[in-house]
């Protein structure tokens, strides 16, 4: 299986600390050697870094760890291939345009007997993950040809996620740069950091950060991951079928599919 990393913050924030921990799981402390990627939103723009190499050995990953890009929404992924060969076109996150915005998606899991009809959006690679992303966007575009608020789209997203979950394991992160949606099929956890901030220690590498020195009292930052990344903080685990919509670090909607 793959692992996910997401962030929603109320101020532009770098994710170097969490990203550094996740990258160790791509071949050093974990088996996810089949590529990695991370997307940083900057307004309507999107910086996307991908590499089909193991993240623990990738020079591109080293560059990102040294480059503290500040963003309010981030989606990252490390891959352990099960459907589709190891190559750049099969590397998450995947990005498509809808309503004049960059929509970004990453998936952890595997879907069986999954062959959705390709209408407007079509996969470039050959993963079930990208097929699900294209199917999800096709559903949204068919229901809402013109832009609407995400709150109106939520029933379509939730119904689609329930459908995919019935096909196998479907943990995902999804965003248009304004909000961050997450869905848990098997494993997902989050932590919301706000004042008073304190130190945090990564599980996978000996790195400690004192967030009090890096933040202001008004900052709110939520990090979402397949498995908790720190060992001295309390992460909240999602239940199977649980979903949440985050905006500026705060959960604005949440629920559970049947």
CA 159/CA 93 separation, integer angstroms: 22
CA 84/CA 126 separation, integer angstroms: 5
Tell the burial category of 151 from Cβ atoms under 10 Å away from its Cβ (0-12, 13-18, 19+): exposed
Do 240 and 234 touch, CB atoms closer than 8 A? no
Q: What is the pLDDT of residue 252?
A: 98
Confidence band (pLDDT; 50, 70, 90) for 87?
Answer: very high
Q: What is the pLDDT of residue 177?
A: 97
pLDDT tens digits, 59-84: 998 989 888 899 999 999 998 777 77
- Token representation of residue 1: 């299986």
HEC per residue, the chain: CCEEEEEEEEEEEECHHHHHHHHHCECCCCECCCCEEEEEEECCEEEEEEECCCHHHCHHHHHHHHCCCEEEEEEEEECCCCCCCCCHHHCCCEEEEECCEEEEEEEECCECCCCCCCCCCCCCCCCHHHHHHHHHHHHHHHHCCCCCCHHHHHHHHHHHHHHHHCCECCEEEEECCCCEEEECCCCCEEEEEECCCCEEEECCCCCEEEHHHCCCCCCEEEEEECCCCECCCCCEECCCCEEEEEECCEEEEEEECC
- Token representation of residue 10: 């109320």
Confidence band (pLDDT; 50, 70, 90) for 1?
Answer: low
As a whole-number percent, the residues of the chain with pLDDT over 90 amount to 74
Confidence band (pLDDT; 50, 70, 90) for 29?
Answer: confident
CA 51/CA 55 separation, integer angstroms: 8
Active site residue 2: yes
Exactly one of 2, 134, 172, 184 is catalytic; name it. 2
- Count Cβ neighbours within 10 Å for each residue of 190-200 and write b for 16 or more, e otherwise: bbbbbeebeeb
Domains of the chain: 3-256 (3.60.20.10)
Provide the whole-model pTM.
Answer: 0.96
């Amino acid at each position: 299986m793959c692992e996910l990393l997401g962030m929603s913050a109320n101020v532009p924030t770098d994710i170097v600390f969490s990203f550094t921990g996740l990258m160790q799981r791509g071949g050093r402390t974990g088996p996810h050697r089949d590529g990695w990627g991370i997307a940083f939103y900057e307004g309507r723009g999107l910086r996307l870094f991908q590499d089909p190499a193991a993240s623990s050995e990738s020079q591109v990953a080293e560059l990102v760890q040294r480059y503290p890009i500040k963003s309010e929404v981030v989606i990252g992924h490390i891959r352990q291939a099960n459907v589709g060969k190891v190559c750049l076109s099969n590397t998450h996150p995947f990005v498509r345009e809808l309503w004049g915005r960059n929509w970004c998606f990453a998936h952890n899991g595997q879907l069986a007997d999954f062959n959705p009809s390709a209408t407007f959006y079509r996969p470039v690679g050959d993963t079930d993950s990208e097929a699900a992303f294209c199917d999800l966007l096709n559903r949204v575009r068919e229901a809402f040809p013109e832009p609407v608020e995400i709150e109106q789209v939520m029933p379509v997203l939730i119904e689609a996620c329930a459908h995919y979950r019935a096909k196998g394991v479907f943990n995902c992160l999804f965003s248009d740069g304004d909000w961050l949606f997450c869905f848990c099929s098997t494993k997902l956890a989050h932590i919301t950091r706000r004042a008073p901030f304190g130190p945090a220690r990564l599980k996978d590498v000996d790195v400690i950060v004192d967030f009090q020195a890096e933040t202001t009292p008004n900052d709110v930052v939520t990090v979402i991951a397949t498995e908790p990344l720190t060992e001295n903080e309390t992460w909240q685990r999602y239940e199977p079928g649980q979903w949440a919509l985050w905006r500026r670090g705060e959960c604005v909607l949440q629920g559970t599919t049947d």
